[in-house]
Every structure is written in C-alpha cells, then in structure tokens.
C-alpha cells in the first residue's frame, strides 16, 4: 500500500495512505512519548495527559461537549498510551474531514486541563489501577516486563503508580506536554478515503490546524536493560494460576526481529501452533495459551502465557519449556513454515481492511522504526525467511541467561517451580 510523506513548515510529518475501498478516513496524531520517557516520580503522566486532552477546550468547554461534537458528525474518537508513543485519532466520513482536523487539533492544542477536572480524573485512573490489580492475567504480564527489563522506565507499568498519579498537577502536565508534544516529535497520518480532498488540500488543512511548536525535544536517556535471568512469583488467592515464560530478544530495528516474529507464530501464534496443540489440545492444561512478542527501540521479548488449574502449574511450565527446547533442535518443516507464513500474511491483509490499523502502522513506523516499511515490503521480508533463520534465532535467544518467569496463583512451591525453570 503506497503512501505519501510530506514535511510541513513547522517540521511536522504528514503521511497520506489512500484507500478508496472504504467509506471512512482515520486521522491519527501520534507523539514519540510514553511511559518510557518518565522518571519514577512522574510515572503514569503520559497516560494522565492523554485522558486530560478530552476534558474540554475553550471551543468545547466540557468533556460532554467534546464527545457530543464528534458523535454529531457520525464519527468516533479514542486515544492510547504505550511505552514509546501516545496516539489520538478520529474516524469519520470523508465529508467531515475538516471537522475531524478541527476536533483533533483543538483537543491537542487547546485543552484547558483544569485542576478540578484533573482531580476527578486522577480518581478515575486510580480506580483503573485498582481494577488491573484485581486481574491476575493483566498483572502477570506487567511483572514479567519488570523481570525482563528491570525496575526502570521500560520495565514499569504504563499506567503508573497510585502515588505518582496522585501527585500529578496541571503544572507538571503542561511542562511535560511542552517538552514532548512538538512538531518534530510527532506524525499525523490519514488513512482511508479522502473524498473530494486532494493531497495538496489536505496538507493545507494540516498546516492550518496542527500548529504544533517546533522547540527542542527533551532527549531521552537510554535505559539500562536488565540482562540477567529472573523471576517473579506471587502467592495470591485466584481462581487459576497465571504464568508467563519467555526470553529477552531484540529491538524492532534489529535484523533478527522478523525471524523472531515467525518463531513466535510457530510456537503459539494460532490455534494450530505447537504450544496450543501441546498445552491445550493434548494435555488439557489451559483454556488460553499463546506466544507473542513485544518489541521496543532498545530491546524486546518473546513470551508464552497461560492460565492453568492450580494443580497443573508444574506440568504446564514443563510443557511450555519443552516446546521452547524442541524448536531449538531442528528446523521447522517446509509445510509448517509455509503455514506460519500464510498466517502472518493473512494477518497483514486483515490489518489493511481497517483504516485505523493502517494509520497506526504508518505512524508507529515513522516514529520508531529506522525506515517506514509498507505492507507489501513486510510481506516480502517474511516470505524470504527460511527454516534455518528460525532455527538460528531460536538457538540464539531461547537460552537460559535470557530467560524470564512470572507467576501469580494461590498454591505455588517456589522451589519446585524454579527446579523446572531452565532450558
């Protein structure tokens, strides 16, 4: 899928990805800032700021007015905070494109961030933290990332901690926004049907509405990644035991990134994958078991997560580690390789059916990757990967010193579990 990249006068990048086969257009603004940029005393501030951008502007003075406007033109909006980016988008009919630009830019540039609204929203976010703490399936993942990266900005929860969220002030939010919500630290992507608007007209609208300043962006210091084998075990009353076993891998810009993605799919990326077949179908140990990856600009990991009966923890851990061992022993068959490539390519094609997914892909590529890769280029990269490539990365990264474990459940023998925790 071809795209056009324009750099506006203020340094803001504008990416246009036309797709006439849809009746909507997504406008997404993404900034290269997330929990990765936060010091411990302001942990969670990126997420708080995201919430506060929808609480009212002089033009639309309340959160209700903000929501009512976008709904009045048949559109929808949302936002998200990651470890390395924060994104905001509207999805609208092409005839309302300028209204969408006005709505999105007004929220980003003119939000009032009033103290009374901030206090209410901090309470909402703290309840969100409480909700996650009651979800062991969620929390085991958060603890696994701390095991992988350490107690640093990359290893901490995106949502932050109750203490740091409670200490957030409007002054801190405005200061943080000034440091990172800059033109050169952002990208705006339009994906979908542009209707009557030409590329030149869209660029003029972007110049008119997205008038971000172009000051120097605060430099992000590199994180000292934890490179040691580690584990987290929590005894907690739960209905089932949740575990993750995985390994530290590479950043999104490393040459091994793509073979590791296929390795992950072979292991647990589908209902016909090795982990699913062994852990669920053959042994009946878990309803849900999956293998996936997470990749950042400094590091990444591959993980297998499962929720199992309390008396099945050790058998499940042994089975998962067993599959990690097996994939290091010999290349995948040509049939299995062809299957996982089809699964991967199918997911790519499914992704380009949604203008929101397209916008997200190009925004993230522009901000985090060394170069923007189109969907067609990604397909070619995956097609070239061989069984030997998968075997090579399995042997290189599925090793004891890169191994991590996180478990939450009511009945855990740490000694018994750690005796299995080796590869």
pLDDT tens column, 83-115: 999 999 999 999 999 999 999 999 999 999 999
pLDDT recorded at residue 231: 97
pLDDT recorded at residue 44: 97
Banded model confidence at residue 403, pLDDT cuts 50, 70, 90: very high
Domains of the chain with CATH codes: 4-209 (3.30.830.10), 230-420 (3.30.830.10)
pLDDT recorded at residue 352: 87
Radius of gyration of the chain (CA): 23
pLDDT recorded at residue 354: 94
Distance from the Cα of residue 265 to its chain's centroid: 18
Q: Beta strand 403-409 with 230-235: parallel, antiparallel or unpaired?
A: parallel
pLDDT recorded at residue 201: 97
Mean pLDDT of 302-328: 97
State percent of the chain over pLDDT 70: 100
Q: Is 91 exposed, middle or buried (0-12, 13-18, 19+ CB in 10 A)?
A: buried
Sheet holding 403-409, edge to edge: 230-235, 403-409, 241-248, 300-308, 286-295
Q: Where on the phi/psi map is residue 4: left (φ > 0), alpha (ψ -120 to 50), or beta?
A: beta
161-198 pLDDT, tens digit each: 999 999 999 999 999 999 999 999 999 999 999 999 99
Question: How many C-beta atoms lie closer than 10 Å to residue 179's C-beta?
Answer: 16
Question: How many C-beta atoms lie closer than 10 Å to residue 41's C-beta?
Answer: 11
Task: Report how far residue 238's alpha carbon sits from residue 176's, in angstroms, rounded to the nearest whole number.
Answer: 38
Q: Write down the pTM of the prediction.
A: 0.94
Task: Report how far residue 110's alpha carbon sits from residue 161's, in angstroms, rounded to the nearest whole number.
Answer: 27
On average, the pLDDT of the chain sits at 96
Alpha helices in 289-333 (DSSP H): 313-326
> Which is more confidently placed, 364 or 218?
364
- Given a cut of 90, is residue 128 above it in pLDDT? yes
Asked if 358 and 2 count as a contact pair (C-beta separation under 8 A), the reply is no
Banded model confidence at residue 227, pLDDT cuts 50, 70, 90: confident
Question: How many C-beta atoms lie closer than 10 Å to residue 347's C-beta?
Answer: 12
Asked if 406 and 147 count as a contact pair (C-beta separation under 8 A), the reply is yes
Mean pLDDT of 201-216: 94
């Amino acid at each position: 899928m071809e795209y056009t990249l324009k750099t506006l006068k203020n340094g803001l990048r504008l990416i246009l990805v036309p797709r006439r086969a849809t009746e909507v257009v997504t406008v997404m603004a993404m900034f290269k800032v997330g929990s990765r940029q936060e010091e411990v005393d302001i942990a969670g501030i990126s997420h708080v700021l995201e919430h506060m951008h929808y609480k009212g502007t002089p033009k639309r003075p309340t959160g209700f007015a903000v929501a009512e406007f976008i709904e009045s033109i048949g559109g929808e909006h949302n936002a998200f905070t990651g470890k390395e980016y924060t994104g905001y988008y509207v999805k609208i009919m092409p005839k309302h494109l300028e209204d969408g630009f006005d709505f999105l830019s007004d929220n980003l540039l003119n939000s009032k961030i009033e103290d009374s609204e901030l206090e209410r929203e901090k309470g909402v976010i703290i309840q969100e933290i409480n909700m996650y703490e009651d979800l062991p399936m969620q929390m085991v993942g958060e603890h696994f990332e701390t095991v992988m990266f350490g107690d640093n900005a990359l290893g901490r929860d995106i949502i932050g901690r109750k203490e740091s969220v409670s200490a957030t002030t409007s002054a801190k939010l405005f200061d943080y926004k000034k440091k990172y919500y800059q033109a050169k630290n952002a990208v705006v992507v339009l994906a979908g049907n542009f209707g009557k608007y030409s590329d030149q007209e869209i660029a003029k609208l972007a110049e008119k509405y997205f008038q971000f300043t172009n000051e120097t962006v605060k430099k992000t210091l590199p994180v000292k990644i934890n490179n040691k084998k580690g584990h987290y075990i929590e005894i907690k009353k739960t209905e089932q035991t949740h575990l993750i076993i995985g390994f530290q891998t590479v950043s999104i810009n490393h040459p091994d990134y793509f073979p590791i993605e296929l390795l992950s799919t072979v292991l647990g990326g589908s209902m016909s994958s090795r982990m699913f077949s062994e852990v669920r179908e053959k042994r009946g140990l878990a309803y849900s078991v999956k293998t996936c990856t997470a990749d950042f600009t400094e590091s990444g990991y591959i993980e297998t997560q499962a929720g199992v009966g309390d008396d099945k923890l050790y058998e499940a851990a042994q089975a998962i580690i067993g599959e990690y061992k097996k994939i290091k022993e010999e290349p995948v068959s040509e049939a299995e390789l062809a299957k996982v490539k089809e699964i991967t390519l199918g997911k790519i094609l499914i992704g380009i059916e949604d203008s929101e997914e397209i916008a997200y892909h190009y925004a993230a590529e522009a901000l985090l990757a060394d170069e923007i890769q189109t969907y067609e280029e990604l397909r070619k990269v995956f097609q070239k990967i061989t069984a030997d490539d998968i075997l090579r990365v399995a042997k290189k990264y599925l090793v004891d010193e890169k191994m991590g474990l996180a478990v939450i459940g009511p009945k855990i023998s740490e000694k018994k579990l750690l005796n299995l925790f080796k590869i």
